[in-house]
Amino acid sequence: MQLYNTLTREKEIFAPMDARNVRMYVCGPTVYDFAHLGNARPVVVFDTLYRLLKLHYPKVTYVRNITDVDDKIMAKAKESGEAIDTITTRTTKAYHDDMASLLALPPDIEPRATAHIPHMLALIAKLIEKGHAYAVDGHVLFNVPSMPNYGELSRRSRDELIAGARVEVAPYKKDAADFVLWKPSTADQVGWDSPYGRGRPGWHIECSAMAKEHLGETFDIHGGGLDLIFPHHENEIAQSRCAHDDAPLAKLWMHNGFLTINNDKMSKSLGNFFTVRDLLAIAPGEALRLALLSAHYRQPLDFSEEALKKAKQTLDGWYGALRNTKDIAFDANVAVPENFMAALDDDLNTPQAFAIIHDLVSQLNKTPDTKTKSALLSAANLIGFLTQDAESWMRGSSSDGLSEEQILALITARKDAKAAKNFAEADRIRKELLDAGIVLEDKANDTLWRRV
C-alpha cells in the first residue's frame, strides 16, 4: 500500500519495520471537554488506516494517548470547582462513547500522561545529560540550536521561527526557539516532585515518553492533525531523536486536513464548532463517519448539517438495497473486491472506495445474488459501514414522533382502505405518516416503512 509521508511530501510504498507487528501512534485528545468534530476526523481517518493495516498484517499495535494533565484542564477545574480527576475521568468516558458511536475501534493501548510522569522525567534527564536541555528557575527547556537538523518535518529553519514569532520570548530562554519540557507548579497547581522542583510536564514531552514506552525508539507511523506538524510533532521529533542517539521517531508521518465550517477552520478558539455529541443527537454515528470520510483525508473538509443529512440519505440507499435483498444469503468467504482494496491502498482514497460501494449497491439492486451482496458487505464492513441490521437502520429511533405501534396501526388502516378501493383515505394516511417523517414503500405482499 502507498501512503503520503509528510516528512518527504511524497506518497511512499509502505514497508513496516517489522511485518509481524506494525506500530502506529496517533495523538489523542486533551480531556477537558466534549470532543468536537475536528477531534473526530483524525480518529475516523486513522481508524480506517488501522482496519486496513489489520487486514494486511497479522498484528498492529495502535497507540493513542489521553492527555490528562494540561493547563486547559487546570483552567477548567478552577472555573468549575471540580477536581481534575473528575473532569478527566468524565471526559475520557464521553470521548470513548462518542468515538465508539463513530464506529471507531478502540486503540490497542491508550496511555495516559499522568501515568507516565517518571518516563517523562527520565527522558528529560537524558536530554540534560546529553546537552540538549537545561534547567533554569524550575523550568527545563529544550535547546533548539543543539539539534542541527531541527525543523525537518515542518521545513522551517530556526531563523524563520524567530522572525515570525508572535509571542514574547521568556527571559529565561537561552534561545528564542527553545521550548518547555517541564514547568514549575505553584502550591495550588497540580504537580509532581522532580529534580528541578515540583512541576508538571510541557506539552510535547508526554508523546515522546509514551511512544518510547509502548512502541520503542522508532516505529512505523505517527499520525495526527495538520496543525500538529508544528510545533508539536517537530518538538516530539527533537526530544526523541536527541534522547535516542538520533534514531528517527517515526518512519512515516501522516496528517489529516482540517475540518472547516463555511470555509473557516473549525476550532474552539473561533467558537464555530460542533461537538460530536450534539451531532449524534441529530444523525446516526455511521452517517457522521461517512460525512467525515467523504473527502480524501488530506483535503480540507467543509462540514455542514446539510452534508450530514446527505450522508444519512446515502446510507438509507445502501441499507435499502440490503433490506430489499434480505432473503439473499451472505457468504463470508467472498473477498473484498480488488478495486476497492486498490482505492484504499492508494493513500486511503475513501471517496473512490465509496464510488465502488455505490456501484456494488447498484449491482445488487439489479442482480440480487449472494456474490454481489457479500462483496458489498465485506467491502463496507471493512471500513466500518453497513454493520447494522438493515431493518433497524430504516426504522431508526425517535424519542418524539410516532411509536412503532402507532405506525403499524396506520399502515394496517391504510391497507384496509386500499382493499376497499378507498384511495383517498389511503393517501390521507400516507400523508399523515409522511408529515410525521415516515415514508412508506409498498411491496408485493407488505408495506415497508422508514424514518427520514
Question: 332-371: which residues touch RNA (CB under 7 A)?
Answer: 346, 349, 351-352, 354-355, 358-359, 361-362, 365-366
Q: How far is the CB of 58 from RNA (least distance, A)?
A: 28
CA angle 221, 223, 224 (to 5 degrees): 175
Q: Do 423 and 417 touch, CB atoms closer than 8 A?
A: yes
Closer of 42 and 284 to RNA (Cβ): 42
Measured in whole angstroms, the distance separating CA 1 from the mean position of its chain's CA atoms is: 21
| Binding letters toward RNA, positions 168-197, x by CB under 7 A | --------xxxx------------------
Give Cα separations from 401 to 206, 286, 320, 411, 438 (angstroms).
48, 22, 22, 16, 10
Closer of 218 and 294 to RNA (Cβ): 294
Closer of 18 and 416 to RNA (Cβ): 416
Give the 3-state secondary structure of 165-195.
CCCCCCCCCCCCCCEEEEEECCCCCCCECCC
Give Cα separations from 142 to 174, 196, 204 (angstroms).
10, 14, 11
| Binding letters toward RNA, positions 400-419, x by CB under 7 A | ------------------x-
φ/ψ of residue 245, rounded to 5: 50, 40
Q: Dihedral of CA 13/14/16/19: which sign? A: negative
| Binding letters toward RNA, positions 108-137, x by CB under 7 A | ------------------------------
Closer of 30 and 146 to RNA (Cβ): 30
**Which residues from 74-93 bind RNA, rule CB under 7 A?**
none
Q: How far apart are CA 29 and CA 69, in angstroms?
A: 11
Closer of 56 and 298 to RNA (Cβ): 298
- Give the residue, chosen from 20, 58, 148, 163, that forms a contact with RNA under the rule CB under 7 A: 163
Q: How far apart are CA 442 and CA 317, in angstroms?
A: 16
- Give the residue, chosen from 15, 59, 72, 412, that forms a contact with RNA under the rule CB under 7 A: 72
**Which residues from 261-300 bind RNA, rule CB under 7 A?**
263-269, 294-296, 299-300
Q: How far is the CB of 139 from RNA (least distance, A)?
A: 13
- Using CB under 7 A, which of the segments 17-25, 56-64, 186-194, 228-236 binds RNA? 228-236
From the CB of residue 185, how many other CB atoms can be counted at a distance below 10 Å? 16
- Using CB under 7 A, which of the segments 55-63, 89-97, 210-218, 317-325 binds RNA? 317-325
Closer of 8 and 59 to RNA (Cβ): 8
- Give the residue, chosen from 19, 278, 305, 423, that forms a contact with RNA under the rule CB under 7 A: 423
- Give the residue, chosen from 1, 16, 41, 196, that forms a contact with RNA under the rule CB under 7 A: 41
- Using CB under 7 A, which of the segments 109-117, 127-135, 186-194, 223-231 binds RNA? 223-231
Query: In 57-204, which ranges are continuous DSSP H helix?
Result: 71-80, 84-101, 117-129, 158-164
Cis, bond preceding 231 (omega within 30 deg of 0)? yes
Q: How far is the CB of 442 from RNA (least distance, A)?
A: 3
Q: How many CA atoms lie within 13 A of 231 on its CB side?
A: 17
Helix axes 37-56, 84-101, angle to 10 degrees: 60
Closer of 137 and 264 to RNA (Cβ): 264
Helix (H, G, I), strand (E, B) or coil at 255: strand
Helix (H, G, I), strand (E, B) or coil at 279: helix
Size of the site for RNA (CB under 7 A): 83
Q: How far apart are CA 297 and CA 3, in angstroms?
A: 11
- Give the residue, chosen from 182, 253, 258, 393, that forms a contact with RNA under the rule CB under 7 A: 258
Q: How far is the CB of 368 from RNA (least distance, A)?
A: 10
Nearest to 383 by CA among 363, 357, 413, 358: 357
- Using CB under 7 A, which of the segments 183-191, 209-217, 313-321, 373-381 binds RNA? 313-321
Name the pairing type of β-strands 264-265 and 259-261.
Answer: antiparallel
**Which residues from 142-161 bind RNA, rule CB under 7 A?**
144, 154-156, 160-161
| Residue 9 makes contact with RNA by CB under 7 A | yes
